[in-house]
Amino acid sequence: MTDNASLDEASQPLRMRNFYLARQPVLDRNQALFGYELLFRGSAQGGAHADSGLAASAGVLHHAAQLGLPRAIGDATAFLNIDRDGLMSDIFAFLPRERTVLELVRSVEPDDAVIERMRVLAGHGFRFAAEASSHGQALPRLLPVIDFVKMDLRALAPVTLLSLAPRLRTTGKRLVAEKVENHTEYRTCLDVGFDYFQGYYFARPTVISGRKLSPSQTTVLALMDLVASDADNGAIEALVKREVTLGMNLLRLVNTPAVGAGRRIESVSQAVTLLGRRQLQRWLQILLFAEADVRGHSQSPLLMLATTRARLMELLAQRLRPAQKNVADIAFTVGMMSLMDTLFCMPMRDIVEQIPVIDEVRAALLGRGGFFGELLRLAESLERMDEAQADGQDGVLSTLQALAIDGDDLAELEVSAFEWSDKVVRYAM
């Protein structure tokens, strides 16, 4: 997929940046997307805002708003952590109030001034959330002015969760389960009556021994093999014609505005001619995730995560190695393939045996090795930024030792990846 000289140059280390963000999905009871919690870090050295952890001060929120928060959340609702200074500031003119939930951090004391400020902002259309264990005995005073109560599964004992959730439901507040790490926890919270779920349980691989790929997935993989082996267009079209639904889905996907083809693509032959083999290969990778979503939702969280991760890695590779187009293509592929163990319910080692990949891709997927592995670690650390903070470590900073890009540029790449992924998923499903 690329030459050795390009890979040697691409193996250079990364350098640190100082402003970045994370977008963590909030799903409803059907596992469809409801919103995102946006987390910001405004200091690479842990200086400014370090005392409040991931709370966004007015300055950080203003900075993020200038990047374009609507681009970062699409049509979803934004949950924004906010401290007292931010709550009392004038930042709110920059936020999409009808799609913004302000989540009070632990340090916010609900005194008279805070409650009055919340009432004023609620009158302008903003909604509020508070976390049960963080606010403890102050929660009853907050209940009349908040709309969502979050419950951190890592901070509450199971017996407390099972008794507290039903009581809070009687208040009419929406309940959000935070840090849901696996499907067992999701099912438990679903049974208890939670309305929304936050965490990457949907991205955790559940390995099923002997599982076979679906006929649709097998066909897509066969198409990917034909494209990669430079088969003629006739062979590719013949395979697509045997799967009419697959062909329709592929054409719908390659006509998304995210492709930027400039004209409508009416056939697979046109797709190959106008997009080229590399672009067609990436849309087949995306189609693997779209085809596997049998829930019928308008947005698949796994597809959203995979396309966001892949696009961010591609944009980072383009910025770091602008003269090496192949390197960006490989970065995108690594991002998409990094979640295929979850998609197929198979160990990653089995997947790289079934899907031929170059050594650099294998090293990245199996051991997070090399340049592409470094980009993958960075993307994964960004996604789980709050987990690193809770553990007293910052996985993002530990990966950014020599990234030759400033913070504003990198945050812009993240927002661009979010925006691109939203467009793709809207057409893919």
What the block records as the tokens of 196 is 């929304």
204 lies in some domain:
no
Q: How confident is the model at residue 49 (pLDDT cuts 50, 70, 90)?
A: very low
CA 136 to chain centre: 30
Measured CA to CA, the distance from residue 20 to residue 24 in angstroms comes to 13
What was the pLDDT predicted at 29? 94
Q: Is the pLDDT of residue 407 over 80?
A: no
Exposed, middle or buried, 136 (CB in 10 Å: 0-12/13-18/19+)? Answer: exposed
Residue spans of beta strands (DSSP E) within 167-222: 174-178, 196-198
Q: Is the pLDDT of residue 371 over 80?
A: yes
200 lies in some domain:
no
Question: In terms of domains, do 380 and 252 share one?
Answer: yes
What was the pLDDT predicted at 47? 37
- How far lies 121's CA from each of 1, 64, 115, 117, in Å? 54, 20, 10, 6
Check residues 41 and 198 and name the one with the higher pLDDT. 198
Strand partners, 37: 24, 79
Q: Which residue has the tokens 């709110």?
A: 92
Tell me, what CATH number does 84's domain have?
Answer: 3.20.20.450
What angle (nearest 5°) sits at the alpha carbon of residue 232, between those of residues 230 and 238? 120
Determine what percent of the chain is predicted with pLDDT higher than 90: 40
Q: Is the pLDDT of residue 266 over 50?
A: yes
Measured CA to CA, the distance from residue 169 to residue 14 in angstroms comes to 47
pTM recorded for the entire structure: 0.86
113 lies in some domain:
yes
What was the pLDDT predicted at 119? 97
201 lies in some domain:
no
Measured CA to CA, the distance from residue 355 to residue 180 in angstroms comes to 31
Counted domains in the chain: 2
CA 71 to chain centre: 14
Question: In terms of domains, do 140 and 259 share one?
Answer: no
Question: In terms of domains, do 293 and 390 share one?
Answer: yes
At 66-113, the pLDDT tens digits run 777 788 888 899 999 998 988 998 877 778 888 999 999 999 999 999
What was the pLDDT predicted at 52? 41
Question: In terms of domains, do 58 and 93 share one?
Answer: yes
**Average confidence score pLDDT of the chain:** 82
348 lies in some domain:
yes
What was the pLDDT predicted at 5? 43
Domain that holds residue 46: 29-194
Yes or no: say if 72 and 382 are a contact pair by the CB < 8 Å rule: no
